[in-house]
Structure 1
Amino acid sequence: MKKLSIIALLMTVFGMLLWQPQLASADELTGHSHEQGLRYLISKSALVKDAKGSYRPNDNVTRGEFASYLAKSMNLESTSDIVFKDVPDTYVHAKDIKLAASAGIITGYGDGSFKPNAAISRQHMAVMLERAIDYLNIPKGTSSITFKDNAAIFKDYRQAVAIGAQLGIIQGSNGNFMPEKNATIGQASSFILRLMQLADDPDASGNSNSGNSNGGDTNSGNSNDGDTNTGSSKYAIKEISNGALVGNQGFSTFEAAEKAVTKNTQVIVQNDKIVKMSSGYVLTSNYVALKSETINDAISVAANTEMEYLSSDATQVKVRLAGQVGYLKHADVTLIPFSMSKGRSYYSNENGEIKHTLYDYNTNKYSSSYVFGKAPSFMKPGEKYYSWDGIYFTNGSGSSKGDAYNYYQYLPARAQTQYTAQEIDAYIMNKLAEVESTGASLYKDATKKSKLIGLGQTLKDVEAKSQINAMLVLSIAQHESAYGMSPHAQDLNNLFGLYVYDTNPLNKEFDSVADNINELVDKFLQPNYITPGGSPGKNFSNGAVVGSKALGFNVKYASDPFWGAKVAGHYYRAEKALGFKDANNPYTIGLTTTTGLNVRTGAAVSFNPLFTYARSGMPVIISSSATNGWYEVLSDKLYTGKAFVSKDYVQVINTVK
C-alpha cells in the first residue's frame, strides 16, 4: 500500500510538471538596469524590435523616438496643423511627433525643422518632460535643486531639470547632471516610466527601476507623489474672502459647477487650482506657444507673463496678449483674480521718464525694472499704471489714462540715425566703462574685452548697404549680448543669440562679429522681419519696428513680451548720452488702418504695387506731406525708389520722445 501511494504521488507530481505552463524565456532585456521601463514602453507599443530583432536598449534615443514614446505613453489623440519640414507623413514617427507638438510638449527649430533623427540631449529631454508634467497636471511646485555642473545647463532649461529631479523622474550621477550627454533608449524608458507612475497610469503602477548603471540616473523606489482625487467631487466652488479661498462645494463636472456659480466673488477650482473666475489675469507658468487667432500664427511667450483673462472651460483658458487672442491649457497657466493679486508689474513716471517695474511670481517680489523713454504727459508721478499691450495705459482708478507710442519702440527700421561711426564708438566705450565700474563679474574688463568695441563703422556700413538703422542694430546687440560680454558673444562672436532658441540652442560660431551682424541683417531682419510677407514659410513680418507682442519684431523674435521695450530703452539711453540728435529731428510715423493695403511706386492706383501689408496697424515712416491724397513713405521692402500709400488708410501718431 505504501509503495503504491508513493508511486501515485510521484505520478501526480510528474503530471503537474508536464502540464505546468512554460515560463517566458529570458531575452536581451532580462536583467537590464532599465528592464521595467523598457517593458513598459513595449506594453504601450512604443518600443518595437528593429530589423535584427533587437530593442536596442543601449543605443542613443533620437528626438523622434522620444517624442513617440511620450505620445504613446500619454495616449495623446488631438492633432493640429503643426508641420515640420523634415518630418514627412511617411516618417515612421510622423503621427506621434505631430501629436506631441500639438500637445505643446515638443517644438522645432527656428527654420521649421524638428531634426527627428538627431540624438537627444539630457537637458532637452528634461524640457520635454516638464511640458509633459504640465500636460498631465502633475503637481510640481518650485524646485531649487541644483547640480555641480548647473552652469553647463542652458539657463532657460535649469528649471525643467530641477523640476524633473525634484519629482524623481531624472537624477544625476555624483552630483552632476551632464546636460549635453545623450540619453539611451533604456534611460529614456525609465524617465517615462517614472513620469507615468506620477500620472497614475495603471500600466506603470507596480513597476520600479532598481538602478541605472549607464548614465547615472537612479530611482530609489519612487511611488506616486502626485495628488489624487479620492472623492467623487472633481470640481469645487470656492469664494474669495480677504484674499483667500474659502468653502468647498463639490461637483462631479465642470458644467455643473459653472451653473452653480452665483456671485462674481466665486471661482471654480480643480485640485485647489482656479480654473474659472469672473475677472482677473492669467500668468504663464512656463514657456508656451500661443496660437493667436488674431494673426493666425503661433507666438512664443516666456514664463511669468501676465495676460488678460477672457474666459475658460474645463480644458483651456481664453486669453488676450497685447491684442492677440488665443487659447492655453490650464497646465500652462495660473489664473489670478484681481482681489487675490499680491503684486503686478506696473509702469510709473520717474523724473519724467517711463519706468517699467516687473513682478516675480515665484518669489512674490518686485524683481527688476528698466527705463525705456520719456513718460507720456498723462502719467502722473507717484501713480502706478497698467497696460496689456505697452501702448494703452491706465492707473488703478481709470482716472488717468491714454495711448503712448514710445518713439524708439515704434520707429521703423529704415530710419537712419544722425550719429557718425566715431560718435557711436565713443558712446560704446563710455557705456562699457560705466558697466565695468559696477564691479559685476560679467563686466570685468569690459573696456578691453567687449565684442562691441570699434563697431561704429561696421554698423554705419550696414545702415548704408541694407537701409537698417545703425543705432537700432547696436541697441539689439547691447540687449542680447550684455554689452558684448555674454558667453555667446565672447566665445562665438554671436551678439544676437542667433540660433539660440528657448527650446533648442544651437551654438553656431561666427568668424567675426561683422559676420554675425551681416547674418542678422541678411538672414533674419531683412527677409523675414522687415520685408512685408517675409520669405516663404517665414510669416514674421508684423511691422518693421522692435515693437511689442502687439506688433513688430517682438511678436515673433523673442518670447519675452517686453523685449521690444527693453531694446528701445538701450536706444533711448544712448540718445540721452549723445544729446538726442535723432529725437530732436524725428521722423513722422503713421499706422496703417486696413488690411491688404498696397504700397505703390507712384501716387496713384495706376502704379504697380511694390508690396502689400497683409495686416493693419503697420508702422510707416512718412517722408513727405500728403500730395493728391497720397503720402510718400520709406519702403519696408529694400528699395531705392520712392514709395506711396493712400493717405486715407494711414493714421499719423504722436510718439513720446
Structure 2
Amino acid sequence: MKKLSIIALFMTVIGMLLWQPQLAFADELTGHSHEQGLRYLISKDALIKDAKGSYRPNDNVTRGEFASYLAKSMNLQTTSDMVFKDVPDTYVHAKGIKLAASAGIITGYGDGSFKPNAVISRQHMAVMLERAIDYLKIPKGTSSITFKDNAAIYKDYRQAVAIGAQLGIIQGSNGNFMPEKNATIGQSSSFILRLMQLAGDPDAGEPNDGNSNSGGSNDGNTSGGNTTGPSKYAVKEISNGALVGNQGFSTFEAAEKAMTKNTQVIVQSDKIVKMSSGIVVTNDYLALKSETINDAISVAANTEMEYLSSDATQVKVRLAGQVGYLKHADVTLIPFSMSKGRSYYSNENGEIKHTLYDYKTNKYSSSYVFGKAPAFMKQGERYYSWDGIYFTNSSGSSKGDAYNYYQFLPARAQTKYTAQEIDAYIMKKLAEVESTGVSSYKDATKKSKLIGLGKTLKNVEAKSQINAMLVLALAQHESAYGMSPRAQDLNNLFGLYVYDTNPDNKKFDSVADNINELVDKFLQPNYITPGGSPGKNFANGAVVGSKALGFNVKYASDPFWGSKIAGHYYRAEKALGFKDARNPYTVGLTTTNGLNVRTGAATSFSPLFTYARSGMPVIITSSATNGWYEVLSDKLHTSTAFVSKDYVKVINTVK
C-alpha cells in the first residue's frame, strides 16, 4: 500500500481552499518545473493536447515529437521529397518530420525508417540540437567539455554533446551525461527554449530567462570548469529582504566557491538553489525518501522543512527529524531574512495555539488549539518548531521540549469516560457546530453519523485495546463531525481506501463496520503492532504523533494531522472535565534500536516483539522492579509485558 491519506472529501475541499488557492487560468502546467519551455512550444503550435486534454509534460518525448517541436519552433518552411517508410502523410507529426529532415536536422535509419514513436535518447537529442545550432548559425566554437561517463557516449556524438553543454542548452547531473537515458516532453521543451533564446527568437525571451531546471534528467549542472558559455547561476546578496547583485557563473560549483558570506545565495533563473539557512517549502504533494527510517514519507503541499544543504540537482532537508533529499523543482528555498511569515506556536490563555502560514498567498491562513501550553511558553511571544516537540523563540534561543499528552499518548490507553458520557459529548459538540450556521453542518444533531457511537467505541476499546476517545477524535477530524459526503453516503468516517491518487468509494453497511475495518485492517496490524504486516512498514509508534513518530509518519501527508487529532481529544476532555488528564498514564520513549519487550522481567523470558528503532512511546504501568518496567504491550496481548528500565526515558507530557 502506498501512502494512505484518509482525508474525507469535505476536509479535502476545505484543505484545498486553505492551502492551495486556485489561481486564475491555472492548468496542469502552472508551476511545472519546465513551464516556460512548455508554454513556448504551445505558442508555436508545436505542443498540443492529447485526447484526454493533457499536454503530458512528464511523458518521455518521442523522436517524431522532438523533430516536430524543432521544425515548428525554428519556423522551417522548405521541404524536399525525402520520405520515411514508417511516416505516412497521415501521421500526426509527418509534416514536422519532413521539414526537419529537409533542413538536415534529422536523418533516418539504414532501412529507410525513422522510428517516429521510439523514445529519443539524450545523445540522439544532442545530435539533432547541434544540427539545429548549425542551421540557425549560432556561434559554437570548439568545446573541450567532457563528462565522467564520456566513454558511454557514442564516439561520433561526443562533440555534439560537448557543444550543447558549452552553450548551456543541455546539461548533465553530478558530472555525468547519461547518454542512453530518455528525456521528458517537459525537459525537451527547455532544451528547445534555450536553443531559440540563443537564436534570438523574441518569443523565447533572453538567454537565462528560462526555467529553474536545467532540462537534464536530474536538473544537473555541467561537468564544471566552463567559463566561456552563458551564465547559468548567479551569486546574490540579501539586502533588506531583497536580492541584489548578479555575479554570473556557468557552473554551480563555481558559484558555490564564490559564496563567502551567510547573506549570499545562489540563484538560477530567479530561483534560489542554495542558501546558508532557512525554510524549504514544498510546492505540491510529494514523497520524501527518509534516510532516517529508510522509507518514503508523504508530504503535503505548503509544508515547512528545515534546510540542511543543496547542490545543483537536489536539496537536503529535515522534516521533523526525517532527513532526505528533494529536487529543486519540487520545493522553494526561503532564507529566514526573506521570509514574510512562518507558522508559529503561542500561548493563548494557557492553551497552545498553532497558527499556520500559507506560502502561496503569503498570509496566515488558519489556526487551531490542541492542548495546554508548556510552562516555558509566555503569552504574547511566538515560538517555532520543526517537529512540534522541540521549540525555540523568535531569536532562535532554545526554550525546551514539550510532548502534548493527547498527541503522544499510546493507543493502548483506556479512557475514563463511559459510553453514555461519550454520547452526551457528541451531541453537545454537534449542537455547537450546527449553531455556526455553516451549511455543511445543517441538522448535524439529527443527521451526523457520530450520533450514538459511544457503545460501539467502548466495545472496540474492550475488544481491541484501542482508546475509544482516540478513535472518536480521528472520526471527528476525518469526517467533519460525521457530516462529510463520504460519511453520509458511504458510512466512511475515516476516508478508508481514499488515496491521494486513486480514491475508492467503498460503501460500508454501517458505521460500526467502518470502525471495525479501521481497527482490524489498518490500526491494529499496521500502525500499532511493531513491525506491521509483511510489506507494510507503517508502525512508527502507537501514537497519533507527528512526522517524527507515530501514525502521522505514514497515515497522512498533512504534517500536523497528529496534533489536529490531539486537539479533538483535548476539546472533548475540556468539555467533560479532564478525567483522563487528571488520571494520566506515565509515558516513556525507548532509547535504543532493536529493543525487546518481554513476557517477564528478565532476559530469560521470551520476547513478545522488538522495537526496530528507538524513540518508540510506551505506557509504563508500574515503577521499576529489578531494573524492569511493566508496560502495556503494543502487540495485542492480555497479560503484562516488560522492558528494561535502562532503555526507556520517562517524558513529562503536557496535559
Report the TM-score, using the length of structure 1 for normalisation: 0.68
Are the counterparts in 2 of residues 210 and 221 from structure 1 also a CA contact under 8 Å? no
8 Å Cα contact 2:210/2:269 also seen in 1: no
Q: Give deviations 1:450-504, integer Å, cap 9, x for gaps.
A: 1111111110111111000000000000011110111111111111111112222
Match 1:412 to one of 407, 410, 413: 410
- Provide the rounded CA distance (Å) in 1 between the counterparts of 2:134 and 2:492: 33
The count of aligned residue pairs is 655
Residue 232 of structure 1 deviates from its aligned partner by: 0.6
Moved more, 69-78 or 487-496: 69-78
Cα gap change, 1:7/1:360 in structure 2, threshold over 3 Å: closer, same or farther?
closer
Which deviations, in whole Å up to 9, do the C-alpha atoms of 1:532-589 show, x marking residues without a partner? 0000000010000000000000000000000000000000000000000000000000
Q: Which residue is 1:580 aligned to? A: 578
1:444 is displaced (CA, Å) by: 0.9
Which of 489, 497, 500 is matched with 2:498 structurally?
500
Contact residue 33 and residue 212 of structure 2 kept, 8 A: yes
Structure 1 residues 109 and 283: alpha-carbon distance in aligned structure 2, compared to 1, 3 A threshold: farther
Paired with 2:608 and 2:554, the residues of 1 have a C-alpha distance of: 24
Q: Is contact 2:591-2:615 (8 Å) kept?
A: yes
8 Å Cα contact 1:198/1:226 also seen in 2: no
- Provide closer, same or farther for how the CA distance between residues 23 and 446 of structure 1 changes in structure 2, counting only shifts above 3 A: closer
Please say if residues 37 and 209 of structure 1, whose CA atoms lie closer than 8 Å, have aligned partners that are also in contact: no
* 2-structure distance, mates of 1:106, 1:531: 60
Secondary structure at the residue paired with 2:302? Answer: coil
- Whole-Å Cα distance in 2 between the matches of residues 15 and 495 of structure 1? 17
Helix, strand or coil at the partner of 1:117 = coil
Task: Assess, with a 3 A threshold, how the Cα gap between structure 1 residues 359 and 92 changes in structure 2: closer, same or farther.
Answer: same
Q: Distance in 2 between matches of 1:543 and 1:517?
A: 21
Q: Relative contact order, CA 8 A, sep 6+: which one is greater?
A: 2
Partners of 1:348 and 1:379 within 8 A in 2: yes
1:419, distance to aligned residue in structure 2 (A): 0.5
CA 1:141 to 1:427, structure 2 compared with 1: closer, same or farther past 3 Å? farther
Residue by residue over 1:34-75, the C-alpha shift from the partner in whole angstroms, topping out at 9 and shown as x without a partner, is 999999999999999999999999999999999999999999
Q: Which moved more, 1:72-81 or 1:20-29?
A: 20-29
C-alpha distance in 1, partners of 2:207/2:319?
A: 43
CA drift at 1:344: 0.3
CA distance in 2, matches of 1:471, 1:196: 63
For 1:548, the equivalent position in structure 2 comes to 546
Over the aligned positions, Cα root-mean-square deviation in angstroms equals 21.2
Task: Give distance in 1, aligned partners of 2:341 and 2:413.
Answer: 38
Question: For the residues of structure 1 that align with 2:401 and 2:8, how far apart are their CA atoms?
Answer: 100
Provide the C-alpha distance between the structure 1 equivalents of 2:413 and 2:97, rounded to a whole number of angstroms.
Answer: 43
Q: Could you tell me how far 1:396 is from its partner in structure 2? A: 1.3
Q: Which runs of 5+ in 1 are unaligned?
A: none
The alignment partner of 1:550 has SS state of coil
Q: TM-score, normalised by structure 2?
A: 0.68
In structure 2, relative to structure 1, the CA distance for the partners of 1:599 and 1:8 (3 Å cut) is closer
CA distance in 2, matches of 1:62, 1:558: 37
Aligned CA distance change for structure 1 residues 13 and 526 (closer, same or farther; 3 Å): closer
Corresponding residue number in structure 2 for 1:48: 48
Answer whether contact 1:87 1:94 (CA < 8 A) is retained.
yes
Partner deviation per Cα, 1:386-428 (whole Å, 9 max, x = no partner): 0011001111124560100000000000000010111001100
Offset of residue 620 of structure 1: 0.2
What SS does structure 1 have at the residue aligned with 2:8? helix
Residues 196/283 of structure 1: CA separation in 2 closer, same or farther (3 Å cut)? farther
Q: 1:180-191 residue pairs with structure 2 within 5 A?
A: none
* Whole-angstrom distance in 2 between the partners of 1:169 and 1:196: 10
Task: Check whether the contact 1:405–1:656 (CA below 8 A) recurs between aligned residues.
Answer: yes
Change in CA separation of 1:331 and 1:603 when aligned onto 2, cut-off 3 Å: same
Question: Percent of aligned positions with the same letter in both sequences?
Answer: 90
Q: Which SS does the other structure have where 1:4 is aligned?
A: coil
- Aligned 8 A contact 1:254 1:313 in 2: yes
Deviates more, 1:44-53 or 1:425-434: 44-53
Secondary structure of the 1:518 match is: helix
8 Å CA contact retained: 1:319, 1:327 = yes
Do 2:167 and 2:229's aligned partners in 1 also have CA atoms closer than 8 Å? no
Per-residue CA shift, 1:328-387, capped at 9, x if unaligned? 000010000000010000000000000000001111111100000000000011000000
Pair 1:519–1:133, CA change in 2 (3 A): farther
Task: Note if contact 2:108-2:114 (Cα within 8 Å) is conserved in structure 1.
Answer: yes
User: Structure 1 174/471 Cα, relative in aligned 2: closer, same or farther at 3 Å?
Assistant: farther
CA–CA separation in structure 2 for the residues paired with 1:564 and 1:13 = 19
Q: Choose 9-18 or 308-317, whichever is displaced more.
A: 9-18
Matched-pair contact (CA < 8 Å) for 1:126–1:160: yes
166-175 or 418-427, which deviates more: 166-175
SS in 1 for 2:257: helix
Deviations, residues 275-294 of structure 1 (Å, cap 9, x unaligned): 00011110111111000000
The worse-fitting range, judged by mean Cα deviation, of 238-247 and 72-81 is 72-81
2:196 is the alignment partner of 1:192: no
**Alpha carbons of 1:214 and 1:272: their partners in 2 closer, same or farther (altered >3 Å)?**
closer
5+ residue gaps in structure 2? none
- Alignment match, 1:207: 206
Given that 1:352 and 1:375 are in contact with CA atoms closer than 8 Å, whether structure 2 keeps it comes out as yes
Is contact 2:287-2:298 (8 Å) kept? yes
Q: Does the CA contact (< 8 Å) of 1:595 and 1:615 recur in 2?
A: yes
CA offsets per residue over residues 72-108 of structure 1, 9 Å max, x none? Answer: 9999999999999999999999999999999999999
Q: 1:480 to 1:114 in 2, by over 3 A?
A: farther
C-alpha change, 1:552 and 1:483, in structure 2 (3 Å) is same
**1:574 alignment partner, SS class:** helix
